Every structure is written in C-alpha cells, then in structure tokens.
Amino acid sequence: MSDLIGRYVEETVRHLSLKERAELAKELEANIQDMIGGDDSEQHVEQVLLDMGSPSVLAKQYRGKERYLIGPETFDFYWMVLKLVCLVVGIVTVVITLISLFFTESPVGIGTMIAKPIASLFSALSGAFLWVTITFAIMDYYQVNATLESWDAKALHDLEEAPTRLIKKSDSIADLVGLSVFFLLLAVLFNRPELIALYRKDAAPVPLFIGQALRPYVIGWMATVILSFIVSALKWFKGKWTSTLFVLSASVDLLGIIYFIFVATRWKLYNPAFLTIFPGSMTRWQIIIKAASVVLLILTLIGNGDDAYTVFRRTRPDEAGPARQR
C-alpha cells in the first residue's frame, strides 16, 4: 500500500522545483498517511488518493501559477509575427532556390526542381519558427511584455484619436513582403549583374550595366532597403501613426528615391553597347532616366503628403482647441 502512496507522491513532486521536492514529498506523504489513518486496506488507500486528484493537478496547485512557454498575453502578437516571418522567409527562400536552380551550370532534372525548393522551404521555415519561438519564450521568461503599455490619461486620449491614424496591418505587411522581394532582386543584381540584359535570338545577351562598376552602388542600395524594412516593421508593430514615425518613414522613402536617382544618373555604369541598341544613344537614355526620376520623386512626395495628411489632420485642430487636456 505504501508503495502506491510513494508513487503518487513521487509523481506529484516530479513536476515541482528541485529544491522543494524533498520537503514537499515528506509533508505530502505525512498528510496522506494521516488521511488514511488506521485503515490501510488497498480499497481505502485508493479512495484517498483518488480524492486527492491527479498528481499533475495537485502539482499545479503547489506551483500556484501556470507556466507558459508563450503566455496568453503575448500569444496573439507571437502568432502574428510568426505568420509574417514565415511568409516572407518562405517566399524569399523558394524564389532564391528556383533562381539558383535556373542559373545552375549543370542541367537539372524535374525531380530536383520540385524537391530542392521543398527541402529548403522546410529547413527555412523550421529555422524561422525556432528563432521566433525562442525569442518570444525568452521575452516571456524574463517578463518582457511588449504589448502592455502604460495606461494613463495620455494613453486614454490617444485612444480616441487612434482610429483616424491607424496604419493598416495589411499595408505594412505588403511593404515588408515587397521590400524582401526587392532585396532579393538586389542580391541577384549584386551576384550576377549581367543577368539584366537585352536577350536576342541568335546573339549573345548584351548586359545593361558594367557589372564591376555597379556592385559598390548595389551594396548602398541594399542598406537603404534594410532601413526601409526596419521602419516598415516599426509601423506594423506600432499600428498607428505618430509624428516621429512619420518623420522616419518619410526620411527613408526620400533617402531611397534620392539614392535611386543618384545611382541611375551615374552614366558611366551603363554599357555603351546596350544603349546603342535600345534607346539608340546615351542622350536619349539620359532623357528617359531624368524623366523617370522626376516622376518617381513626385510619386514619393505624393505618398508622403498623403501620410502627412493622415498624421496631422486630426492633431492640428486638437492642439488649437483650448478645452482639450493632453
């Protein structure tokens, strides 16, 4: 009979912290012995232990709190981040794998064409899942709570304004996905600049760029994309506009477009052979690039102006209003 009690006690304390185990086991056993009293028939012992409830439930009572890898407060945010990261990582991995297969030296069979992207997708997704989960588990363990913010009068008033200044999650996600794909294209451009070329029948392709000269500029371009990516992630995380966020967002947009114009107008980067075929001459090419630059700049400014309108249209009258406490 005592064997049954011993097993029950052992199973209970197994779920508890090491330093408490011995003490709790001794106490629990003493208590159970008291409850059993003189009648130590198997039936009675069974009944007492059944009444005590399952060992894991009892252990939970002893711990006094639930343990989570990722707690209920952070779970929604974790799930969102996990989905986005998997989406981006998945798309980028498959595209990279397909491209690398496409340009590989030796011929590739249809089996490899299917199996290789699936294999790399699986390994990339496992990695993404692992790192996102580990990050959140560590945050939870050290009680870092990203979602709980201070609740005071200012936060209360911000609530009221929020609906007009929300940043759509879908927009931020589209930005992040777009930027990832663009970054990937830049990576391809860096490794194989000659791929952007005029392909003709019965003749060698004529590359648009002089590869060696282009490379350093591509690295700078990648840096601007990374900056944009960080700001987009920030917008997604915050979920609504603030003036600081607007300034950051507008700055990276402008930086991106100015850098693009800067690179596009480095005329020595273009392959003269290409230009004599397509627009006909360097002068025409320069006109095309300059016109495109102006259009892109105007589009960027319109985008920023639209954001500015969203950010500031509500705050201005409020700041002028005398009754409003902030």
Determine which residue in the list 4, 15, 25, 35 makes contact with other proteins, applying CB under 8 A.
35
> Least distance in Å: CB of 25 to other proteins?
12
Determine which residue in the list 3, 38, 43, 51 makes contact with other proteins, applying CB under 8 A.
51
> Least distance in Å: CB of 144 to other proteins?
25
By CB under 8 A, residue 52 contacts other proteins = yes
Contact window for other proteins (CB under 8 A) among 3-11, 57-65, 151-159, 170-178: 57-65
Contact window for other proteins (CB under 8 A) among 26-34, 166-174, 249-257, 297-305: 26-34
- What are the angstrom distances between the C-alpha of 157 and each of 43, 153, 209? 65, 6, 54
Alpha carbons 64 and 61: distance in angstroms, whole number: 5
By CB under 8 A, residue 298 contacts other proteins = no
> Least distance in Å: CB of 60 to other proteins?
9
> Least distance in Å: CB of 312 to other proteins?
50
Length of the chain in terms of residues written: 326
> Least distance in Å: CB of 35 to other proteins?
6
Determine which residue in the list 61, 170, 212, 325 makes contact with other proteins, applying CB under 8 A.
61
Determine which residue in the list 58, 81, 84, 132 makes contact with other proteins, applying CB under 8 A.
58
Q: What is the distance, to the nearest Å, from the Cα of residue 78 to the centroid of all Cα atoms in its chain?
A: 10
3-class SS letters over the chain? CHHHHHHHHHHHHCCCCHHHHHHHHHHHHHHHHHHHCCCCCHHHHHHHHHHHCCHHHHHHHHHCCCCCCCCHHHHHHHHHHHHHHHHHHHHHHHHHHHHHHHCCCCCCCHHHHHHHHHHHHHHHHHHHHHHHHHHHHHHHHCCCCCCCCCCCHHHHHHHHHHHHHECCHHHHHHHHHHHHHHHHHHHHHHHCHHHCEECCCCCCCEECECHHHHHHHHHHHHHHHHHHHHHHHHHHHHCECCHHHHHHHHHHHHHHHHHHHHHHCCHHHECHHHHHHCCCCHHHHHHHHHHHHHHHHHHHHHHHHHHHHHHHCCHHHHHHCCCCCC
Instruction: Tell me the one-letter amino acid at 322.
Output: P
By CB under 8 A, residue 150 contacts other proteins = no
Determine which residue in the list 1, 22, 30, 130 makes contact with other proteins, applying CB under 8 A.
30
By CB under 8 A, residue 3 contacts other proteins = no
By CB under 8 A, residue 277 contacts other proteins = no
Determine which residue in the list 24, 94, 195, 213 makes contact with other proteins, applying CB under 8 A.
24
Contact window for other proteins (CB under 8 A) among 56-64, 212-220, 266-274, 315-323: 56-64
By CB under 8 A, residue 81 contacts other proteins = no
Region 188-227 residues binding other proteins, contact defined as CB under 8 A: none
**Residue whose C-alpha is closest to residue 190's, from 216, 172, 161, 164:** 216
By CB under 8 A, residue 62 contacts other proteins = yes
By CB under 8 A, residue 4 contacts other proteins = no
Q: How many residues bind other proteins (CB under 8 A)?
A: 17
Measure the CA dihedral 9/13/15/21, to 10°. Answer: -170
Determine which residue in the list 5, 9, 13, 28 makes contact with other proteins, applying CB under 8 A.
28
Contact window for other proteins (CB under 8 A) among 60-68, 77-85, 279-287, 310-318: 60-68
Site of interaction with other proteins (CB under 8 A):
24, 26-28, 30-31, 33-35, 51-53, 57-58, 61-62, 64
